Amino acid sequence: MDFGYKGIHMDDCWEQKSPSRDPCTGELVPEPTRFPNGMKVLGDYIHSKNATFGLYTAESPTTCGGYPASADHEDLDAKTFASWGVDYMKVDGCDQTGAYYKHGYKAMGTALQNSGRDIVYSCSWPAYTGSNESTKPFDEYIADGCNLWRNYADIQCNWDSLSDIIEHWGQYCRVLQPSAGPGHWHDMDMLLIGNGCVTEDEERTQMALWSILASPLIMGNDLRPGKVSDASKAILQNRDAIAVNQDPLGKMGLRLEETSTATQTWFRELSNGDVAVALYNAKTEGSAAADITFNFADVGITVTQVEVYDIWQHKSVGTFSNEAGYTATQVPFHGSAFLRLSAKQ
């Protein structure tokens, strides 16, 4: 909680399959052997720990796991979720035709807003409309009440999946940036950090780029004692990285290079005039470290002197002239240097 992670989110398969709804009330029913006391008791317990309660449904007859979902039941389900104390709803699709989504996601957004409880609405609609971000109606998603949305493929616990998502955002960041901001965010999917399926350098790259791109930080690892290494814990609890991610200006960052290159510069404008920069060693062959150089002017810094703060090391590495720029030396393979730039008075 001290670092800002405050929600406990439960995904698919919490529902009872048969009967799919309470025969008297029509409400969704939690699976009784796993949740014998019901969801209201679970929600109260989570709140007693000063955490928020996240739950899952879908805008389709069944969820992706084949459990009862919310199509044609938005009003009732939203009131049910509110009565259980739900604070965050992930609403998946799971209907490959997508014919219902235009109506369903709007209906659920309205129902959640009318439920009597302030519930964050996570929409998966964009993820079911293809990978071309330039054709997606983000203004419509916002108007329908979506606070965040999944755009792309589900992340898998390996580097190929993680790097594919990074490259997707690199290709479309200029299209996506205008529709990101306070109250409505592009969700790049869960953090793999702490699962042991990518290297520590790759974990740092995910944390840096999720922060630059203003993606929600949603941990997807086992939080039980001893399950997360100290190195991974340090990445997840890096206050300087979290401050970039949670910057109140809420402006999503960009990749400087418009096409994929072996070394890349990603940057984000921050609320106090600072700029966050991630220098990413994106090599696809070999495993060599790389020196990565960028010019301050290219990321919007035009003052004569610039202080460079290293987010991974938690310290200033010096003041540099604008003309000279900055070089991060020996950035690890698939790793990143993560910096905060400030005008030096």
- How is 243-300 classified by DSSP, letter by letter? HHHT-TT----EESSSS--SEEEEEEE-TTS-EEEEEEE--SSS---EEEEE-GGGGT
Q: Which of 77, 92, 144, 274 is catalytic?
A: 92
Find, among 154, 159, 160, the residue nearest to 204 by Cα: 159
Find, among 270, 272, 265, the residue nearest to 250 by Cα: 270
Q: Which of 22, 154, 222, 291 is catalytic?
A: 154
Instruction: Respond yes or no: is residue 240 known to be catalytic.
Output: no
As given in the structure block, the two tokens for residue 258 are 């418009």
Taking the C-alpha atoms of residue 232 and residue 281, their distance in angstroms, rounded to an integer, is 19
81 in helix, strand or coil?
helix
Instruction: Respond yes or no: is residue 298 known to be catalytic.
Output: no
Taking the C-alpha atoms of residue 84 and residue 267, their distance in angstroms, rounded to an integer, is 41
**What ranges in the chain are assigned the alpha helix state H?**
38-48, 74-83, 101-113, 138-143, 159-176, 200-212, 230-236, 239-245
Catalytic residues: 92, 154
